[in-house]
Amino acid sequence: MWQPTKLELERLHKAQRLQTRGVELYPARIERTHRIAEAVDKFLQAESDAQVEDIGVTVTGRIRRLNSRGKVSFAHVEDESGRVQLFLRVNALGDESYELIRRKLIDVDDFVQASGTMMRTRTGEVSVNVAELRLISKSLTPLPVVKEQRTAGGTVIEYGEFKDTESRYRQRYADLAVNKSVREIFVKRARAIKALRDFLDGEGMLEVETPVLQPLYGGAAARPFSTRHNQLHQDLYLRISFELYLKRLLVGGYDAVYEIGRDFRNEGVSYKHNTEFTMLEFYKAYIDYKGVMDITERMFAYAAEQVTGSAQIRYQGTAIDLAPPWKRMSIREAAQELLGFDYMDYPTSETLYAYLDSRGLTEGLDPNDTWGRMIVEHILGNHIEQHLSQPTIIKDYPRDMSPFAKRIQGTSADEKERRYIASHTERFEFFIAGMEMGNAFTELNDPRDQQARFVDMKRLYAEEADETTPLDEDYLKAMRYGMPPNGGFGSGVDRMVMLLTDQTSIRDVLLYPHLRAPQVTEADLRGQFMLDAAVRGYEYQLDHVLEGSKRRIALYLPAPNIGVDFRLANALEGSLAQLQNLRKAFDGALFVMTDEALYRVDDDLAGVTAADFWSALS
């Protein structure tokens, strides 16, 4: 239960005084003729047209600044569109209404409705000359105070900002209310996702929705969350990807489908990982991974244009050009270019590890990893990825890392090249700003090969069983009906939003990033207590302060006014028998709450002296 702070008590008191004056604190009917930005624009337009007639407006919003100067006051109100100053004069408002300002009954953070005509103050600021001011929602908890100063150069310096990351994430509403730049991030996020939809719709793809709860997880290598359907007596998994469900739809006759939705992975969090994240996947028939590359390049350029106005963006001070074409190279070529060797010269995990060791490149590498994992996870992930600042497509991945991709095509007279072709797949990932942004393949559509891959995966990763892709018999059944050749694509949308909003942490592009649940607070306990009492039909009493004691106690009472002080005083100083009597008096339902916990006084206390009982609580 809420325990008001000193500042909140002051506002509660103001709320009472307002109600005494007959002011409605939370009215239901609101008037507004203009959004704030519209009102200002209209005034500026009239000014430039040299019109003389008054522009009457009614605007609404939250007060963000209030500066009383005696019989005249200035306020800034803000709605989503912007801010405008209110010019408040006792002459215009009348004594009674102005009194609310003068007595400070209206605070910063309150929502108001203001009617008047547009004007400029003596210093030139566009304002509403307010004739009528109405409180439309009282704020009881003050928001953190942020003051702004505009320098001559136009930059805004903020004083006393609200920047404690934990508070900002846990109370995102306050963060948003105070920090305009945070609000802007999520506007851009919405624009980015709309841009993706518009683009994919424009490509003739059908947006679909597939199950979040799946009887088998698959399509990626990740630890899933599991849950249980009670009525069906069935274990279910939260999806780690959409892949297998989307590709079944190509069997069903759609040429191209996509889905934007949430995936869940039961793994660590980092600046670029959240346990739940937004994924985009699409699958398009009759194209291969080169076709997917073309779409990828155009799609990112389009999204950047829609969000930032240009395909040339800046990320953390670096200029990044998302316009096609992007650099494309195979993982083998990347290793040759950046590390100066051909991994095909080391065709087993043992020889590859030995070579890397001779170069001093094995830090963090498990010698028991598979050959493909060494190349993708270690060589690419630890030694190449961070250098890929400009958009780069890295293609042709080792087969054992890509269970849903077709082998690369071609033939060669050379033995080493034949081995290369046999052991690699048409898969690519693309990297921007040193971050993996997505993953795509020429999709495997041979059910016989697919079944072999499931078995391979199981064999390779037997010891980490929960990270392998389980064999999905229904998926194979679908594929046996015939799946058109197709190219598929998956990308973490949150990372794209990070890129387009210049953010370095995924948490800053998620409205509610995952945080550990905070400890139960006293306020939570009090709330529980109050609810329990209501359910039992008891009166309750919180913060019962006992004479000469620092303890605060909460009680369930079967009825009010039954001599609590007297009985408790006895119990505190007396024997267990008296305590039990007390309990009896309360119909066997005496609960005592201290700052730490809620205790039930019951038979478990037998044998404990009252003094020990109370000292155990303190």
39-98: contacts with RNA (CB under 7 A) = 65-72, 74, 85, 87, 89-91
Transcribe 415-456 into DSSP letters. Answer: HHHHHHHHHEEEEEEEEETTEEEEEEEEB---HHHHHHHHHH
Q: Residue 311: CB partners within 8 Å, gap ≥ 6?
A: 301, 304, 305, 321, 322, 323
Rule CB under 7 A: choose which of 61, 219, 224, 391 binds RNA: 219
- At closest approach, how far in Å is the CB of 89 from RNA? 5
Q: Residue 405: CB partners within 8 Å, gap ≥ 6?
A: 289, 397, 399, 425, 426, 427, 441, 442, 443, 444
* 235 CB-contact burial (10 Å; exposed 0-12 / middle 13-18 / buried 19+): exposed
Contact flag: residue 154 with RNA (CB under 7 A): no
Do residues 2 and 523 lie in contact, with contact meaning Cβ atoms separated by under 8 Å? yes
Cα angle 456, 460, 462; round to 5: 110
Secondary structure of residue 311 in the 3-state scheme: coil
Contact flag: residue 225 with RNA (CB under 7 A): no
Contact flag: residue 392 with RNA (CB under 7 A): no
- At closest approach, how far in Å is the CB of 536 from RNA? 29
Nearest to RNA of 60, 425 (CB atom) = 425
Rule CB under 7 A: choose which of 164, 235, 357, 565 binds RNA: 164
Structure tokens at 321: 């050009």
Q: Residue 295: CB partners within 8 Å, gap ≥ 6?
A: 203, 282, 284, 287, 489
Do residues 219 and 469 lie in contact, with contact meaning Cβ atoms separated by under 8 Å? yes
Nearest to RNA of 226, 386 (CB atom) = 386
Structure tokens at 618: 């303190």
User: In the block, which residue shows the tokens 């006051």?
Assistant: 73
Span of 261-269, 337-345, 351-359, 606-614 interacting with RNA by CB under 7 A: 261-269
Q: Is the peptide bond before 325 cis (omega within 30 degrees of 0)?
A: yes
> In the range 279-338, which residues lie near RNA by CB under 7 A?
none
- At closest approach, how far in Å is the CB of 277 from RNA? 11
Antiparallel, parallel or unpaired: β 590-593 and 552-557: unpaired
Contact flag: residue 436 with RNA (CB under 7 A): yes
Structure tokens at 557: 């009472």
- At closest approach, how far in Å is the CB of 497 from RNA? 16
Contact flag: residue 228 with RNA (CB under 7 A): no
Which amino acid, 593? M
x/- mask, RNA, residues 462-501, rule CB under 7 A, reads --x--x-x--------------------x-----------
Q: How many CA atoms lie within 13 A of 120 on its CB side?
A: 8
- At closest approach, how far in Å is the CB of 236 from RNA? 21
Contact flag: residue 165 with RNA (CB under 7 A): yes
> In the range 360-379, which residues lie near RNA by CB under 7 A?
364, 366, 377
- At closest approach, how far in Å is the CB of 101 from RNA? 10
Nearest to RNA of 187, 515 (CB atom) = 515
Rule CB under 7 A: choose which of 163, 359, 416, 536 binds RNA: 163
Contact flag: residue 439 with RNA (CB under 7 A): yes
Contact flag: residue 271 with RNA (CB under 7 A): yes
Rule CB under 7 A: choose which of 113, 127, 392, 486 binds RNA: 127
Span of 195-203, 266-274, 303-311, 345-353 interacting with RNA by CB under 7 A: 266-274
Cα angle 46, 156, 314; round to 5: 100
Span of 280-288, 325-333, 417-425, 507-515 interacting with RNA by CB under 7 A: 507-515
Span of 262-270, 318-326, 527-535, 554-562 interacting with RNA by CB under 7 A: 262-270
Rule CB under 7 A: choose which of 24, 125, 201, 417 binds RNA: 125
Nearest to RNA of 282, 586 (CB atom) = 282
Structure tokens at 187: 């506007």
> In the range 520-559, which residues lie near RNA by CB under 7 A?
550
21 closest CA partner among 106, 90, 91: 106
How many residues make contact with RNA (CB under 7 A)? 80
Nearest to RNA of 37, 145 (CB atom) = 145
